[in-house]
Amino acid sequence: MTDEISETNCKSTRLTRRGVLALAGASAIAGCSSLDSVGGGGEATIDTYNLPDIPRHGEREAPVSPSVPVDIATSHFDVARERVRSLLATLPTPLGPEEIPNGHIRQHLTDAASDASDGLDDARTARTGLMALRSLRRARENARYAASGWGVADRGLTAAPLRNEYDKTLSAARETLQEHEYVGADPVRAALVHARIEAGLGRATDTDVRPREESELLSVAEWGEMAESAQAYLSDARHLRAQFTASLPANVGTVRQTLTAAAKALLSDIRDRQSDLPPETNADDRNPGQMVFDELRWEVESGISRFTDAVGPASAVVDANSQLARLRAIDRIQSRRETGELVRPSDGKTVRDIRETVYEALTAALESSSQPELVRTVLVDAGHKVMAADRGLTHHQGEISASTLDRNVADYWHATALARSASAATQQTVQALESG
């Protein structure tokens, strides 16, 4: 699953605040290139007035939110909120030029403090407990960034104590992961919860990124962010483990062997299916149908390495479930291409219909499955595609060539195929778990 760019994939790149800012800047530049595109030649044009009505400004929520089938204690949320507030309380208000003369540095700290406050609000309105946890974790990271940066100016804080704190958390997270027990009664629920625990511990032990700031103050701020992030991931993982264990019957057994056997069986089937994939399409004549086929094919091939490198057996099972859905989605897309269904839309109504179809498919998949929480892991991925397509549509104005929307249409078709493949993939995963 790729929610938050796949937290169950602990090998994914972790970005510090500076990395996120750099990525956002690059995305903004890339997005500007699609504004006000005008069709040329003999190609059909589409009036953007007839496209789906999507707000151009404000936050857009994913169609399906990630969740975890375990209760998160109110007290755990309260502790995280208090941590954010206590960090923000160390900052002078307002943070002006007298406190931080350098405007660039001051803006970084001010933005981080603002983002931390926004994170508290986001947590209060989150649709799932897992989303609330994520908002509070990000709020903690931003608040610590700001507080650490101010600590440099206020009292001469250096990176050394923050590095020591980070190293201690790293050791604690590694020990927690090594000693983790895969208890459980229902193997499906166990896989979902343990995958989240593995993801959190994996992120807490991720050492791929180090501060890169030339400014000493901002470098210290990043070390503060990293130390807080690792501690937040570790704390959340431990809480999920404790809450899950408390929800189980006394003397419940382990599901490690079940998860491991299921992961191996699913991987074997995925490799067999992968070897039978059709070849890549001819890149000379690109259209939305070819784009989604090639993208799904690439995701399957690149996903094998992530799957085999999973931090634990639970993550491997959940990732395998997503891979199976992608393989089935490829079959659907290939079938629709062969029957000529995936034709580039030439009017706004067709685009609206395509978008409406994907939302219907997401709802149907979630409501009809006997294992909605496992299906949800695939639908979250599909929802990210929908969000990308929706966001892309808001970049266009006036009359545009039909091909300008190829990326958006491909994303909608991609999401629809995943949603319609999720239930069958989940059934296979459940069978593997029950056989293990």
In three-state secondary structure terms, 183 is strand
* pLDDT class of 272 with cuts at 50, 70, 90: very high
CA atoms within 13 A on the CB side of 397: 7
Select the more confidently predicted residue: 436 or 80.
80
Lowest mean pLDDT among 48-62, 142-156, 292-306, 307-321: 48-62
Domain edges within the chain: 43-65+255-435, 74-246
In three-state secondary structure terms, 61 is coil
pLDDT in tens, 333-345: 999 999 999 999 9
Given a contact cutoff of 8 angstroms between Cβ atoms, the answer to whether 71 and 129 are in contact is yes
Mean pLDDT across 309-334: 94
Residue 39 confidence (pLDDT): 40
pLDDT in tens, 340-383: 999 999 999 999 999 999 999 999 999 999 999 999 999 999 99
Task: Using the predicted structure, report yes or no on whether residue 397 has a pLDDT greater than 80.
Answer: yes
* pLDDT class of 21 with cuts at 50, 70, 90: very low
Cβ-based burial of 184 (10 A; exposed 0-12, middle 13-18, buried ≥19): buried
pTM over 0.85: yes
Could you give the angle at the alpha carbon of 356 between the alpha carbons of 353 and 362, nearest 5°? 140
